[in-house]
Structure 1
């Protein structure tokens, strides 16, 4: 369950490439989570869903969302390689605007360990917000 907690304390200034790479990781997580939706829709609705033009548009929209999210991640990853390590940014204000505590931790810490959104939650788990 995602708890609402005080934002984690980030270093006053961090290397911009490090911050951007954490963002890249989060974008890959988002793409993965979106990608998991399509097979579930088909499993619940069955093959009949594929006969509906509206459903096809929705499934194409899901594919496009995944491609765009991965594209943004790759774009940021690529330009990050050209940014000098000594460029520093203060992320404290930006972090205060992120409402998901798990994502705040992932974006504020210097280390990445897995996904900010746990993928191993038991069926039926949900968060109140």
Structure 2
């Protein structure tokens, strides 16, 4: 099946390394977003509903989540460098299962996103309603 026919049938094959690098980018973004939560929880000023021991466990859990996310990203990044560009995959079904539109666009038939989904210079308290 030619690439043109694939596009008309709603399916499009693309290089596996390109797809994996978009996943790497998303994993780095997840780690960044988790990391941004940590300072909020470590702030001991104000009221807290967690004991000091509970707060420490939450912070350790966040740190572990960041390390695991970055570890997965680096693993995929390294494995991807050994995959021939000729290996093609169709991500249409997988992308359609993703609920977040931004992630769908990023992982779909696009290019690597530069930067993060929520830049650090965004105003405090700003949020996107969903």
| Residue 29 of structure 2: aligned partner | 29
Q: Cα–Cα, structure 1 residues 64 and 56, in superposed 2: closer, same or farther, change >3 Å?
A: same
| Residue 45 of structure 2: aligned partner | 46
Tell me the SS of whatever aligns to 1:89. Answer: strand
Following superposition of structure 1 onto structure 2, how do residues 8-87 of structure 1 map, counting pairs within 5 Å?
12-43=12-43, 45-46=44-45, 52-87=52-87
Count of aligned pairs:
118
Q: Please tell me the root mean square deviation across aligned C-alpha atoms, in Å.
A: 2.5
Q: Is the 8 A contact 2:42 2:59 kept in 1?
A: no
Aligned-partner Cα distance in 2 for 1:66–1:93: 28
| Residue 7 of structure 1: aligned partner | none
Larger CA Rg, structure 1 vs 2: 2
Q: Cα–Cα, structure 1 residues 125 and 11, in superposed 2: closer, same or farther, change >3 Å?
A: farther
Q: Is the 8 A contact 2:21 2:112 kept in 1?
A: no
The answer for unaligned runs of 5 or more in structure 2 is 1-9
Deviation at 1:97, TM superposition (A): 1.1
| Residue 113 of structure 1: aligned partner | 114
The answer for unaligned runs of 5 or more in structure 1 is 1-9
